[in-house]
Structure 1
Amino acid sequence: MIVKLPLNAVLKPFGKEDARRESGMTIIEILIVIALIGTIMTIVATNVIQKNDEAKVDLAMVAAKTVGDSLQFYKLHNNRYPSTEEGLNALVTQPPSAKAWRGPYTDAEKLNDPWGNAFTYEASGAKAFKIVSPGPDGEVGTADDITYPKDAAAAPAAEGQ
């Protein structure tokens, strides 16, 4: 005796299992997706941090140039740059030797680099100066220092600037 079952009755249990399998994800698939998302996030975060550091270096150079421009105005009024001893504070507070001082030439906050370190200043006579940002490590004299003007020696400043 042969029993004939409708085709639906035979395939129905398999169909339900297949439907459940296709509609969900296995734990391994979920772990793979999480690992991929983690890898992508690491790559993105690394690039963002690197760009932030590069932007701070550029900002430090611009800030040092701005201080250099303030020194030009100081020289315009006083016929000389502040001495190394007077330092960059001569741009904010009148030193006793600057009789024609018309400052302040900048704000005290602008005498710091983007990392919060004070710029160092060195004058070489009446026609040259050097401004140095200690850079990200906060130490003067290391490879990451940012110098304005760009050459390491205290170069003569351009007369027309």
Structure 2
Amino acid sequence: MIILGLLAALVGPRMFGKVGSSKQKSAKAQISLFETAIDTYRLEVGKFPTTEQGLQALRVKPDGVTKWDGPYLPKDIPLDPWGNPYTYKYPGEHGDYEIVSYGADGRAGGEKEDADIVSWKNIGE
């Protein structure tokens, strides 16, 4: 019994760390998928979706938009791995547009699992 307790104490924190890392990688992969869809949208429509139109413009034709040939994503816009919506902003401060997951805490900033996952950086930068 003592051995199991020691093993759990040693392995548990490492395993929970891997879960957090895997959620961050999943968020980055979803953001990359959004980027591809947004770039296709821009090629066809001639401009990026507005902040107000958001990522939903990749699934449903926005009012007043011509040349829309979507949907540009096969499924509805998912929540991030922590159950929070992604944030889309156009124009962006770090590129043409920005897509952000605010991490486990759902708030800007943070470290480790609470760190923001953003379209303009790789994880850990």
TM tier relative to shorter chain: 0.7 to 0.9
Match of residue 145 from structure 1? 116
RMSD after superposition: 1.7
Taking structure 2 as the reference length, the TM-score comes to 0.84
| Residue of structure 1 equivalent to 2:76 | 108
- Distance in 1 (CA, whole Å) between partners of 2:48 and 2:3 is 58
SS in structure 2 opposite 1:77?
A: helix
Question: What CA deviation, in whole Å up to 9, does each residue of 1:109-160 have, x standing for no partner?
Answer: 43x21112111000118x8100000111112x22211110228xxxxxxxxx
What does residue 121 of structure 1 align with?
88
Structure 1 gaps of 5+ residues are 1-33, 152-161
Match of 1:136 among 101, 104, 116: 104
Amino acid at match of 2:106: G
Number of equivalences: 115
Shift of the alpha carbon at 1:49?
1.0
Give the greater-gyration-radius structure (CA): 1
User: 1: distance between equivalents of 2:62 and 2:109?
Assistant: 31
Cα distance in 2 between the residues matched to 1:104 and 1:61: 21
Output the CA distance in 2 between the equivalents of 1:75 and 1:37.
Answer: 56
Question: Going by fraction, where is helix more abundant, 1 or 2?
Answer: 1
Aligned equivalent of 1:58, options 20, 25, 39: 25
Identity %: 31
Cα offset, 1:71, TM superposition: 0.3
Q: Find runs of 4+ consecutive structure 1 residues off by over 4 angstroms.
A: none
Which digits, 9 at most, give the CA deviation of each residue in 1:35-67, with x for residues without a partner?
222111221122111111111111111111111
Q: Report Cα offsets for 1:57-109 as digits up to 9, x if no partner.
A: 11111111111111011001101100111111111110013211011111214
- 1:76 match: 43
